[in-house]
Homo-oligomer: A and B are copies of this chain.
Amino acid sequence: MRCAARAQIGSKAGRWTCILADRLTISLDGMGGDHAPDIVVRGAAVARERLPSAYFLFYGDETRLRPLIAQEPLLAGCSEIRHTDQAISNDDKPSMALRNGKQSSMRLAIDAVKSGEAACAVSAGNTGALMAMAMFGLRTLPGIDRPAISSFFPTLRGESCMLDLGANVDCNADNLVQFAVMGEVFARTVLGIAKPTIGLLNIGVEDMKGRDDVKAAANILRESTLPIEFEGFIEGDDITRGTVDVVVTDGFTGNVALKTAEGTSKLISTFMREAFQSSFLAKIGYLFASSAIKKLRLRLDPRRYNGAVFLGLNGIVVKSHGGTDAIGFANAIGVAADMSVHGFIDKMKADFESLQASPAELGEVVSK
């Protein structure tokens, strides 16, 4: 069953088909993001409409949160404020945030996941600080050396996900292999694909092409009996082509690729706007096609794909884009909810436990 967690922007009818019988407690960093706490509260209200069993723990400044929550009838009876004066800013260094931010809204939201009070946490705050706190608070799952950041993006075939998007600037072959397994569970759980296909990002599809670490990771994945569908190397243009469901790469390349795609999308939007304003006839054409163009915009709307996940941790933490609005923040909540409802952490644990139960296999492949 596919249970895509992102809201249908511009439409009342959501794509969140999960009917949640029990209460799903979600902790929110009320003070993280460029437009917090406003978008956090309004985003929770949008999300609540589609997640009837959601219960929110808002961490942050009570005097600012209370009046905002009072304005949202959907949040009545399903939200709680946990006051704290401390908040992490975008300028705070991760190490400083970790040391001095023990009572920050971000840290307390993560701690709620650690203690089991919340099923997942969402923050639009400082990415580095969030990653550091999540790693420190939740630790990585057994068998995983480093967590990775993953997110969805639109393709010609539908949607795919990519990892790592910036958590690790240097990755060795073992890291990439772990990312492949993590990404597979993520795509299976949240995109609902029974057998997600995996591709390793490279600068050519031939075996001899690319960096040594990428070639070594491909050898391990190709020759192992891991229960994953490894398709081999893919190139940059395969990302949006949807050649595979899961694109695996190091955090440096993944971050550059993601931002290059965002930049290219902005460039073309700007050129398009200029084209439709370039003549009287073009303006008339725009009026006739406005509904179709609006649909096109929605299809590429970055808010639809908001919600980057820290994979590999012993708990669910989702990072929202810092500059997003309520719709975007609601989608980040949706991703966190989907992962919780579909038992993402348990599936990850099971997969990595079975990998560890037969470590000989990976070792054997590596030594070849």
Chain A residues close to B by CB (< 8 Å): 93, 154-156, 166, 169-170, 201, 203, 208, 210-211, 235-241, 249, 251-253, 255-268, 270-272, 275-276, 278-279, 281-282, 284-293, 295-296, 299-300
Contacts of A155 in B (CB 8 A): 267
User: How distant is the Cα of A249 from the Cα of B253 in the complex, in angstroms?
Assistant: 11
Contact B263–A265 (Cβ < 8 Å): no
Q: Can you list 5 pairs linking A and B with CB atoms under 8 Å apart?
A: A236-B260, A240-B264, A264-B268, A265-B268, A288-B288
Contacts of A276 in B (CB 8 A): 289, 292
User: How distant is the Cα of A211 from the Cα of B171 in the complex, in angstroms?
Assistant: 11
Contact B236–A203 (Cβ < 8 Å): no
Shortest Cβ distance from A284 into chain B, in angstroms? 5
Contact A237–B259 (Cβ < 8 Å): yes
Shortest Cβ distance from A245 into chain B, in angstroms? 16
Integer count of this chain's copies in the complex: 2
Contact B282–A256 (Cβ < 8 Å): no
The chain B residue with its CB closest to the CB of A288 is: B285
Contact B236–A257 (Cβ < 8 Å): yes
User: How distant is the Cα of A284 from the Cα of B284 in the complex, in angstroms?
Assistant: 10
Contact B288–A259 (Cβ < 8 Å): no
Contacts of A279 in B (CB 8 A): 291-292
Contact A281–B275 (Cβ < 8 Å): no
Contact A299–B278 (Cβ < 8 Å): no
The chain B residue with its CB closest to the CB of A165 is: B203
Contacts of A290 in B (CB 8 A): 285
Known: A236-B255, A237-B259. 7 other contacts (CB 8 A): A154-B267, A166-B203, A236-B257, A252-B253, A281-B288, A282-B289, A284-B285
